[in-house]
Structure 1
Amino acid sequence: MYGWAVWFLVVFVLVQHVEARNVLSIPSNPQSPKIGIFRLNFQLKQKALDANETGQTTVIADSVSHTLITTIGVGTPAQVMAVQIDTGSSLFWLRSPKCRGTSCSGQPVFDNTKSTSYVPMPPATALTGPLRKSIVYGDNTRVECELGVDTVMLGALVIPNQPLCEADVIQTTTGSSDGLIGLAPPGANTATDVFRNMIASKAISKPFASFWYNQSRQFSDTNAGQITFGGTDSSKFTGNFTWFPIPITGRNHWSTTFEGITLDSAPLTQNRTGTAIFDTGTTLAIIPSDTLSAIVLAANAKQLPNQGLYQVPCDKVSGIPPATFHIGQRRITLFAEQQVFVVDGTCLLIFAASTPNINVDVILGAMFLRHFYTVFDFGTSRTGLAISAGQLANSLRLTGKSAGSRVNVDVRWAFVLGWVVLSSLVI
């Protein structure tokens, strides 16, 4: 079907604490907040750059609260930047030397004056719109930037003439990565659309971006997750994909219809039809506040002081009733252990409450997606979920029910978290 040269780009992820956009601090224990961040060290960056220069298809990267961060090379010679890969937004931006403020000082920047392949963006067109861009994320982080054009290297994939946005304003109370690659669906139609350029250059065999999250308990792990551009990795999932086409009314996001949530077969949402978003840039599952209240009560959970997170007595986790998400006319059930993650012996719910500035009902972030091999199909504007395969120690049963079929699989559940990305969704 596709007459393009075949490239598979696989990005492996190393778990560390790194600075991220849209974060909440999570205490290592209820009395002692874990403060501080770790940036990619020189050796990691050099390995990533070497991989690009030798044509290998893997780069070493980090994850932030299981939202995926990878290193890319930008310009000639390549300047290595750590960027978040986010399906909940559309802009590709990098911190520039002109950036001022607490999120800019002393941080890596992309300096276009040091790149021989950089060219200014031509005058504004109908496609690019204004050359200056501004974006506001779900936690009110604001980024303002100017468009330019340069070569981008992502693993062995070289993307020439890639529009990018150089950020001189990053307004956030939580800091930021060096930049962000937005992978919103084709309907977003952004001037800096990286994936559209991959397709146009015929560098990939299929218009797929596929995400897999490792289930390892290791705090530092060179195989904590991977992103494949141009296809899927059959060793990372079992069974068939269940596909969720984007509704006509939701073309700017990887969305599907939301019909409600049931807890132990009892409906928590009455006569509600709305929108659910598949978002790799959000850590938790963001759900309506009334639904969260019911789950908190059933789980015997208590809110952490000054946090949007809920602690569950670890010896009571097994008593949490199953929660079934009704999305896209499918049913996906998370059992007790899938609704909880553990930080330094503290059990926390994977759910957080939606806020008024987020104009969707549900955001299915990494804590939900980690149970699945998730494919974002840019060709037909749909999201596919298959049961994730991987390490099976400390196994739990995850049940996905869709299209009248029931699939059972044992998965390993573990998570070490220092920071939580609340929401990357653009408002």
Structure 2
Amino acid sequence: MEGKTIPLSFLFTFSIIFLSLFALSVTSSSLQYQKLVLHSLPETQLQSLNWDAQDLNAQLLSGDGSEPDPDTTLSGSDPDPNNVLSVQLHHVDLASPASFNATPHALFKLRLKRDAVRAKAISILAAANATVGRRTGRGHAGGRDFSSSVISGLAQGSGEYFTRIGIGTPSKYAYMVLDTGSDVVWIQCSPCKKCYTQTDPVFDPTKSSSFVGVSCGSPLCRQLDTVGCSRKKCLYQVSYGDGSFTVGDFSTETLTFRGTRVNNIALGCGHDNEGLFVGAAGLLGLGRGRLSFPTQAGRRFGRKFSYCLVDRSASARPSYLVFGESAVSRTAVFTPLVTNPKLDTFYYVELAGISVGGTRVPSIRPSLFKLNAAGDGGVIVDSGTSVTRLTRPAYIALRDAFRVGARDLKRAPDFSLFDTCFDLSGKTEVKVPTVALHFRGADVSLPASNYLIPVDSDGTFCFAFAGTMSGLSIIGNIQQQGFRVVFDLAGSRLGFAPRGCA
């Protein structure tokens, strides 16, 4: 048989295709995997907790909104042997009667919508390079560390987490949003010009002996970014990028953390509070600015704090917000905090790269996350944003690498902001590529449940990252879940301790 000549161009093309497939095969087979145990969102979880929630509220609240004796109403272990104050975590599903008629699926979709608005608002604020000035210390808390509970806001349609603290004297306990992305501490106050619905009774400042209004000429009043004056009383206004705002009297008040009183904390007493707020009575600002709670609480307490954000699907796991020396976990790995000279509220860190399956994604370079001299770009760690946003080129590279490693999993349609979803119905567990964030000096390996999450009750799971056209990247609370996140302001560093909620 007469031989045929094969063109060199064909051989070259064939070789390239073969080598590409071989490289892909080698890359996929050499990836590191970890097990993901599957738990879809239940259809009727909230409704089934109705009576439990009523019983819990009866325990948590007395008729006047005061906190009952914690030793007789709550159980749980102290997170530190040195008698650190603590309370057991209760998922907000049990403490929010307003959410009983909403399904977990509907609440999750609402949370993603709110989350998108929040992430956009943070990016706008960062891009505006708003200078908020120097930080000052104020307040006193005695001689002990102190702590408070942390709970998920999922059932209230919120991506934020909540903590329960006492306001005023006598203390009226209320749920407050835990927010490292803002500074001013505020709470809804009567009389209300316009107040949103909250779980606890609205705070009445006339019934607190420690409530003191701030005068217009006070140095504390001048620390506000937006300030007004009426009848010599200092008025505050805080506006958020999503259009929400709170307006009212600026004051000083006592906050109580399970018996430890922190005096003279600047507090916004809001009489007109409108927008996307939901459920909680107010907000505990944990940012780096001069009016944040950590700054005001002083060197002994506010310069070191930590939290662990519990799994949203867990209804009774212990978790704590801790202030003081005991906040620093011995198992944490630390990365330096970066200062943005144009904006001192956010906690900036250096992200050097990301690994998928144990291998660095080569196109995810440190330059994608650089904070420049003008205050643009960078990476922040934020407790109030749910889904981690990465600048678009970094996200695409991460997503594509994950898709290669997860190519054996059945794909599902996109869901909301997620463009990489899988149909895992009928399975109890799967193997997924590992994902690790490489900060300067700290490698953080994520549990599989922190990046492949259920979005419905039918077995659909999505890759819980998203891209952003903004230069600012945000490490959200889904990726922080289960870690004790340590904010050591005295050492100018931020740490992550795995399995930190126990």
| Superposition TM-score tier, normalisation by shorter sequence | 0.5 to 0.7
Contact kept in structure 1, 2:395 and 2:465, CA below 8 Å: yes
How does 1:226-265 map onto structure 2 within 5 Å? 226-232=320-326, 239-247=331-339, 249=341, 251-261=344-354, 263=356, 264-265=359-360
The counterpart of 1:352, out of the listed 435, 455, 466, is 466
Encode CA deviations 1:110-155: one digit per residue, 9 max, x unaligned: 2111212212113344443233333333544333332112222122
Amino acid at match of 1:361: L
How does 1:113-262 map onto structure 2 within 5 Å? 113-129=206-222, 130=227, 131-137=234-240, 139-173=242-276, 175-185=278-288, 188-190=289-291, 193-199=292-298, 204=301, 207-214=303-310, 218=314, 220-221=315-316, 223-232=317-326, 239-247=331-339, 249=341, 251-261=344-354
Amino acid at match of 2:304: F
Encode CA deviations 1:374-404: one digit per residue, 9 max, x unaligned: 111232332122333466xxxxxxxxxxxxx
The answer to whether residue 494 in structure 2 is matched with residue 383 in structure 1 is yes
The counterpart of 2:390, out of the listed 275, 283, 287, is 287
| Distance change (3 Å), C-alpha of 1:9 and 1:350 | farther
Counterpart position of 2:422: 312
Unaligned runs of 5+ in 2: 1-81, 97-101, 112-143, 228-233, 371-377
Structure of greater Rg:
2
Counterpart position of 1:3: none
Amino acid at match of 1:119: V
Distance 1:336 1:81 in 2: 33
| 1:59 Cα offset (Å) | 5.6
Contact kept in structure 2, 1:104 and 1:170, CA below 8 Å: no
SS at match of 2:295: helix
| Distance change (3 Å), C-alpha of 1:261 and 1:105 | closer
| 1:35 Cα offset (Å) | 9.2
**RMSD of aligned Cα (Å):** 3.8
The answer to whether residue 211 in structure 2 is matched with residue 89 in structure 1 is no
Encode CA deviations 1:350-393: one digit per residue, 9 max, x unaligned: 2234365xxx62211222222422111232332122333466xx
The answer to whether residue 63 in structure 2 is matched with residue 63 in structure 1 is no
Amino acid at match of 1:15: H
SS at match of 1:272: helix
Encode CA deviations 1:262-298: one digit per residue, 9 max, x unaligned: 5453335454233111122222222224444455552
Point out the structure with the larger helix share: 2
Encode CA deviations 1:291-345: one digit per residue, 9 max, x unaligned: 44455552656432xx334543237995654444343364434365431123544
Amino acid at match of 2:92: Q
Amino acid at match of 2:237: S
Contact kept in structure 1, 2:238 and 2:246, CA below 8 Å: yes
TM-score normalized by structure 1? 0.68
SS at match of 2:216: coil
| Distance change (3 Å), C-alpha of 1:7 and 1:279 | farther
Counterpart position of 2:362: 267
Amino acid at match of 2:308: W
The counterpart of 1:8, out of the listed 76, 84, 89, is 84
The answer to whether residue 443 in structure 2 is matched with residue 338 in structure 1 is no
| Distance change (3 Å), C-alpha of 1:213 and 1:337 | closer
| 1:164 Cα offset (Å) | 0.3
Amino acid at match of 2:306: S
Point out the structure with the larger strand share: 1
SS at match of 1:251: coil
| 1:56 Cα offset (Å) | 12
Encode CA deviations 1:142-187: one digit per residue, 9 max, x unaligned: 33332112222122210122220012333324535210111112xx
| Distance change (3 Å), C-alpha of 1:137 and 1:350 | farther
Return the structure number with greater relative CO, CA threshold 8 A, min gap 6: 1
| Distance change (3 Å), C-alpha of 1:232 and 1:327 | same
SS at match of 1:175: coil
Amino acid at match of 1:175: V
TM-score normalized by structure 2? 0.58
Percent of aligned positions that are identical? 20
SS at match of 2:479: helix
The counterpart of 2:379, out of the listed 273, 276, 283, is 276
Distance 1:120 1:385 in 2: 39
Contact kept in structure 2, 1:9 and 1:227, CA below 8 Å: no
Distance 1:106 1:329 in 2: 42
